[in-house]
């Protein structure tokens, strides 16, 4: 349940509405946007504000500038792409705030029009959650809308600080993300299966712990599974393994048993001689990973085992590739599991940058019920944490 006020609970007509969006999109070396998903996901909120004749003031961060303007992180390509998508001019300012910008919004801009401020992270006060900076941003508008789910876990000035100075509500994307992800925790259609992969256990400690109290089964694959395999007593050769997390892994194996969670690890592995796309490879069972080889993907028997579990589930959450999927020689596990999830008929939710890259690579993106736009934010929500960008919005 989403218990925060949204854009539909507040009067936006003929109001100046400041919208925090997440336009942190990937750019190539010529500053072309290589993936505009995040811009597309903001359109329902923007179109609603156009229809309701608000003055729309957009603000976002992009990349990791160090608190000063850097041309390669300017928002011009984003404004251009948004303008193409909505068929309407988006006036882009080269600063975050100035008296001219305020004058333009107050006196020259028409209702139903859109402007965009410059990259918020050109000012160090954004990340510092500086109250004077929040006030300055707030002075541009009557209402604040947060639609930047991908930034909701950051207590930054445009995300948290600003909510102290304007009526603050959620946009449509924010609402949808929170509803889908909290329903996984609160009321999943059972059996509920989570599949976690990716490189490191240490990134996912809290998620694993929290989900072990919620799921019926948990599959662990990818780089992180070797720490768990070692905790179960297998030799893992040169595979990536976090020795300082082995005790945690043992605790999680015990917690799974206590909670009656079916925790599945790979039963066979594609190992390689070295970390290289063309390295010699072979498939071995987990009992016999050679000492000087490393695990790069799950093997065929693991794929079949995991597919059976997928076919039994009615809700599936997936985060993290099951092998080094960027290289074709080690992508079979990730591709097979992603396809099986997409075709399962279950409620399917995915999140995380690499997971989304895999879904795009295999043309499966649109086959999932929901793909979260926020990697870090979705994981923190599934850890059971309160996110500052959500908590600070007005209650219903």
Among residues 78, 240, 241, 393, which is the contact residue for ligand AMP, using CB under 6 A?
Answer: 240
Among residues 150, 223, 237, 389, which is the contact residue for ligand AMP, using CB under 6 A?
Answer: 223
Torsion-angle region of 38 (φ positive above 0: left; ψ -120 to 50: alpha; else: beta):
alpha
Choices 19-27, 94-102, 212-220, 321-329 (CB under 6 A): range interacting with ligand AMP: 321-329
Q: Is residue 299 annotated as part of the catalytic site, yes or no?
A: no
Nearer to ligand AMP among residue 181 and residue 296 (C-beta): 296
- State the Cα angle at 56 between 55 and 62, rounded to 5°: 155
Spatial CA neighbour of 306 closest among 248, 201, 225? 225
Nearer to ligand AMP among residue 171 and residue 352 (C-beta): 352
Nearer to ligand AMP among residue 323 and residue 389 (C-beta): 323
Among residues 199, 246, 255, 283, which is the contact residue for ligand AMP, using CB under 6 A?
Answer: 199
296 binds ligand AMP (CB under 6 A): yes
Among residues 150, 188, 299, 321, which is the contact residue for ligand AMP, using CB under 6 A?
Answer: 321
Among residues 70, 326, 343, 383, which is the contact residue for ligand AMP, using CB under 6 A?
Answer: 326
Nearer to ligand AMP among residue 200 and residue 307 (C-beta): 200
**Exactly one of 38, 81, 154, 238 is catalytic; which is it?**
38
**Exactly one of 5, 88, 135, 200 is catalytic; which is it?**
200
Query: Is 319:267 a contact under the CB 8 Å cutoff?
Result: no
Q: Is residue 81 annotated as part of the catalytic site, yes or no?
A: no
Q: Is residue 353 annotated as part of the catalytic site, yes or no?
A: yes
Nearer to ligand AMP among residue 249 and residue 393 (C-beta): 249
Query: Is 114:89 a contact under the CB 8 Å cutoff?
Result: yes
Among residues 36, 70, 76, 203, which is the contact residue for ligand AMP, using CB under 6 A?
Answer: 203
Residue 119's alpha-carbon distances to 73, 122, 286, in angstroms, are: 7, 6, 48
Q: Is residue 367 annotated as part of the catalytic site, yes or no?
A: no
**Token pair of 207, please?**
């998620």
- Map the footprint of ligand AMP across residues 336-375, applying CB under 6 A: 352, 354
**Nearest residue to ligand AMP, by Cβ distance, number only:** 198
Segment 121-126 long-range contacts (CB within 8 Å, at least 24 positions apart) = 121/61, 121/62, 121/63, 121/64, 121/65, 121/67, 121/73, 122/65, 122/67, 122/68, 122/69, 122/70, 122/73, 122/96, 123/67, 123/96, 124/67, 124/68, 125/157, 126/61, 126/67, 126/156, 126/157, 126/158
User: In angstroms, rounded to a whole number, what is the distance separating the alpha carbons of residues 57 and 92?
Assistant: 10
Query: Is 216:343 a contact under the CB 8 Å cutoff?
Result: no
Residues recognised as catalytic:
38, 200, 353, 376
Sites of contact with ligand AMP (CB under 6 A): 197-200, 203, 222-223, 240, 295-296, 320-321, 323-324, 326, 352, 354
């Amino acid at each position: 349940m989403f218990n925060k006020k949204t854009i539909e609970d507040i009067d936006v007509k003929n109001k100046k509405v400041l919208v925090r969006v997440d336009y942190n999109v990937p750019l190539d070396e010529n500053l072309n946007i290589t993936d505009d998903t995040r811009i597309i996901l903001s359109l329902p909120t923007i179109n609603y504000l156009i229809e309701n004749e608000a003055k729309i003031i957009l603000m976002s961060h992009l990349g990791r500038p160090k608190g000063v303007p850097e041309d390669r992180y300017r928002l011009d390509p984003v404004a251009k792409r948004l303008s193409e998508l909505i068929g309407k001019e988006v006036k882009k300012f080269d600063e975050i705030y100035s008296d001219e910008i305020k004058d333009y919004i107050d006196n020259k801009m028409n209702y139903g029009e859109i402007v965009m401020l410059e990259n918020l992270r050109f000012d160090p006060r954004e990340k510092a959650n500086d109250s004077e900076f929040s006030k300055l941003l707030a002075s541009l508008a009557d209402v604040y809308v947060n639609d930047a789910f991908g930034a909701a876990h950051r207590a930054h000035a445009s995300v948290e600080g600003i909510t102290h100075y304007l009526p603050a509500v959620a946009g449509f994307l924010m609402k949808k993300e929170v509803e889908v992800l909290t329903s996984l925790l609160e009321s999943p259609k059972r059996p509920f299966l989570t599949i976690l992969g990716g490189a490191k256990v240490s990134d996912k400690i809290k998620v694993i712990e929290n989900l072990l109290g919620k799921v019926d089964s948990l599959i662990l694959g990818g780089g992180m599974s070797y720490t768990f395999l070692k905790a179960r007593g297998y030799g893992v050769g040169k595979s990536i393994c976090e020795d300082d997390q082995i005790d945690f892994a043992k605790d999680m194996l015990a917690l799974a048993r206590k909670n009656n969670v079916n925790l599945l690890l790979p039963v066979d592995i594609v190992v390689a001689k070295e970390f290289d796309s063309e390295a010699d490879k072979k498939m071995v069972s987990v009992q016999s990973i050679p000492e000087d080889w490393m695990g790069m993907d799950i093997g065929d028997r693991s794929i079949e085992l995991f597919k059976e579990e997928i076919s039994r589930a009615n809700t599936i959450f997936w985060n993290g590739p099951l092998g080094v999927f960027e290289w074709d020689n080690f992508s079979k596990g990730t591709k097979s599991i992603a396809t099986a999830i997409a075709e399962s008929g279950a409620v399917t939710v995915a999140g995380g940058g690499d997971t989304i890259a895999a879904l795009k690579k295999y043309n499966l993106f649109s086959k999932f019920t929901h793909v979260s736009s926020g990697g870090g934010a979705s994981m923190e929500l599934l850890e059971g944490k309160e996110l500052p960008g959500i908590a600070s919005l007005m209650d219903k």
